[in-house]
Structure 1
Amino acid sequence: MRLFSFATAEKRAEYLWVLRAFDSARAAYVVLLHADDVAEWIRRESGVEDPPLTAVDIGPLLDQLHQWGVLERSYDGTRAATLAEYRNRHYVYQFSQAGFQAFRAVTGVLEARMDEAALSRLLLPELLADLRALAEANRGGDAERVYRTLRRLDAALTDMAARAAHFYLSLGDLVRTTEITPESFLAHKDALLAHMREFSTDLARFAPRLAEAIGEIEETGVDELVERAASCDERVLLSLAQRRADWRARWQGLRTWFVAADSVKPGDTESTEADRLREATMSAIAAVLSLLRRVTETRRGGVSRESALRHLAGWFTAAPSADSAHALFDAVFGLGRPRHLAMEHPDADIIPATRSWWDAPPLEISRTLAETGRTPSPGAPARIQRNDASIRRLRQSQLDAQRARAEAAKSLAAADLYDRELDEGETEVLLRLLDAASTAWVPVSGRVAGTTGSESGVTLTVSEHPGSTVVRTARGLLHLNNRKLEVRPGRARTPAAHGGRPDGGTR
């Protein structure tokens, strides 16, 4: 933490001027700077003839930055023009590796704009194109292209995750804040809802394709992919084994975004990062709609936090005496609660903390607490009330529902939909598949192209049909106009070699 001392020092503005001069020189491939050189760079950056810092002022700043470890110092005898300068130990400075990272971290915070929050939905088609290019390069044995494409994929996915985290953090602050400006929110609500809705639709449409592209890459060989990427990695300070481990971890992280891991038990399913991101988007849309309802009701009713506080301030102003104002303050903010109500019985087994004080017997308190409000000695922490039996029952019911859904999906894909009547479980799975497929049902060139949806290890394909089709279900007849449904098991992967999910799809 000593590296960040320049950001909180008394002369922090001067230290930033000096370090920005080193950063500008570094961008121009000039590494070593003397105090005179730093002053010249500061003059160029400021754009004025009289620089804010001179070489005499910069010397002590450079020495202090060297003591903090931000700069490294070396002796350059070639700069000495006289014997006196040579004896005066002419120093030059440059960024230390850790010091440069500390400076970039501080400038990143200073230059960051907290209102620049967006979901990068345009990265999804680029990810799909790069995944297909990676499969082609790995199949052809082009190691350099594998390395470049894998690096680009890793950077793009990292950027998408960072943008999503920033977006939902900013959105959470907006939803939780109590200082809502109705005008600014109503001006941007349509763009915000359309942005999240488009991202959710694109994510649902591209997730099955991305999972399928990852499956094609795994068929070309993950071990060969990692070996080729590690062989072209230019981090020479890392051993080949370390580079292999790093690229394998990066590939696994990329894979978990769109392909779920194999379940331990049959019928169990695990959500992917893309599924969680889509669920977060849907939750954010619901939160924004709730906030919109609050803002609308506030504007319609005329009662807001601001008007309530102004009305309360009028009451304080009209209070006849200081005692009345104190009584009003205690009544409004609830600071007059008796202290003994916050006490707990020493033996929680006899009188648990969850029992209402209406039913609990009176509790003895010490004179120190009654007279001064201070606890005479710290008491034991309260015992945690857990209900493990209910937790186990809920978890078991979830697992049973997943297994039943998996069995229904398997039965649904075992025979043609139009030759039989679907039972309740098969009907529910079919409706869930239709819901997943309908999110990607978009017009293309004036016509609706076929689409797919995946659920519980099976894939539903919706294709065009000359006439209408009817599916008999336990809930009645399902009529589809110019559409035909086909349910088939998801394409099997090789779990032992690649750890793939059988269906490779997402909901």
Structure 2
Amino acid sequence: MLDAIAAHLDDLYGLLRDPASDNRRIFTTLAGLEGHLDALRTNTKQFNGELQRLLRDDAADLATFDEVKRATVAYLEEFVTDLDVRKHAIAAAIARVEELGVAVLHTRALAGADLPVLPGAADPAPRWLAQRQAKWDGLHRWFAPLDGSLPAVETLQDIARRAIVSLLRVLERFGEARRRSASTIQDFRTLARWFSACPTDEDAHRLFNAAFGLWPARHAHLALDDPDEVPAATPWHAAPRVPVSPLLRTHGVTEKAARTARVRDVAEIRRRQRARALRERAELEAAWARLATDGTVRLSTFGELDHATFARLLHLLGRALSVRPGRDGLRRATTTDGRLEVTLRDPGDGRTATIRTPSGEFTGPDYAVEIRSPLREIRRESRDEEAL
């Protein structure tokens, strides 16, 4: 833009030096010069406004920062690069044009404007010339003030300096925002944008309920007067509404008041549970005693077992078979409580064992099995030592 102003001034100087030049070209060149000067003022004000928008806390977001950053880079390239050189070039061009006469410039531009000639005060020429002189004075204030003050173009550097400082401040503010775990203000702003985008009031109410969890109460324990009126498989949102007592809404209880339920006597329940536990323990002890062997026996020697004892035998065999054989070829395992230890060995003779139960017969390899109770042996040894 500064280069365009300098170029138009040079064109005007060349046209004024040639008396035979076209007045229409002088008019269009002068209009272009004034247009670039107006654009310079407008762009400077607009850029200042962008900076103020960036500095406001309520508008400082990443999108605004990126927008102002691009505007700042464009501003620096357009106005600040080689500003001193271009400023002096424009001031020198103004001086050259003024040597040829600003009045001559405006007179020839007026002739090229081809304004209508009207009698008396209706003639537009005086007003047009006054406007051109005001524009030329504005050009002087920007680049070559007549009163010796600083030209307005010097403010371009100050604006650029403020822009860079503003960008750095906003970057620092963004860094502080990232260090915070969350921003409640941003959350509410986002929610406000969602509310403003709701097409209807019902949508806004649903959004409010979802955001704050303030759903209306649903009294799922209430039923219709006629329970058979609605099938049991009907979804609650498709079922008819049930009248809710005002007392329930105000005090949280229904109108159906009843006596307080009696406290249950759990002593009998505990007695039955204790008796059942003792009975199950006795059955388990009997099963372990039935399965215990005096040394190694074949699986077929068990012959016939009741269902509970057979289930515990299968449990022991399963635990033993899940263990890898040792170097001696034996598989050893214990029950969870450590009361029984089972040792299993495959004799390798291919014999088959059959065990009969009330539910049927079990057939499998006739393993060599030893089931003993280490705890019972320890107790027996203790009794023998006491007897001695």
Query: Normalising TM by the smaller chain, what interval?
Result: 0.3 to 0.5
Q: Scaled by the length of structure 1, what TM-score is found?
A: 0.33
Q: Which has the larger radius of gyration?
A: 2
